[in-house]
Amino acid sequence: MARILIVEARYYAHLNDMLLAGARRALDGHEVEVITVPGALEVPGAISLASDGGEFDAYVGLGVVIRGETYHFEIVAGESARGIMALTMDGLPVGNGILTTENEAQAIVRADPAQGDKGGDAARAALALLQIQDRFA
């Protein structure tokens, strides 16, 4: 049984509830803790801070970024993904479940565990990376 930390950005709480449900289902049988951050940009930083303690075996980042009328979407989408990728390249098993969509309808389809199940996908990715880490340890 692995200890998994889910870091969720609650900006779109109703969408994140679906992502979280899918992730929890995929992590059934593992010990799961959830912490909340304000937005997607804070997810990689929170994972980095948590990893310093060595308490968790793998991490899942969840959140939703929906395109708006300004360039802010590109910054949040790109930088949150870059931050998670940097953590992964540094050897942390992290599943990226931060959705980047054009509109809320796309986000609903991707977040819903009965449809896209991207929260579950992110959790399964974290577990897969943990297995690879264990294999080469």
Q: What is the DSSP letter of 116?
A: T
> 42 among the known binding-site residues?
yes
The residue count of the chain comes to 137
> 55 among the known binding-site residues?
no
> 64 among the known binding-site residues?
yes
> 40 among the known binding-site residues?
yes
> 11 among the known binding-site residues?
yes
| Token digits of residue 17 | 């509830």
Interacting residues of 18 by C-beta distance below 8 A, sequence separation 6+: 108, 111, 112, 113, 119
Q: What number of H helices and E strands is found in the chain?
A: 5, 4
> 96 among the known binding-site residues?
yes
Is residue 63 within 8 A of residue 97, CB to CB? The reply is yes
Annotated catalytic residue, options 14, 25, 72, 82: 72
Q: Catalytic site residue 14?
A: no
| Token digits of residue 114 | 């009965």
> 92 among the known binding-site residues?
no
- Please enumerate, by residue number, every residue annotated as part of a binding site for 5-amino-6-(D-ribitylamino)uracil: 11, 40-42, 64-66, 96
- Please enumerate, by residue number, every residue annotated as part of a binding site: 11, 40-42, 64-66, 69-70, 96, 110
- Please enumerate, by residue number, every residue annotated as part of a binding site for (2S)-2-hydroxy-3-oxobutyl phosphate: 69-70, 110
**Catalytic positions, please?**
72
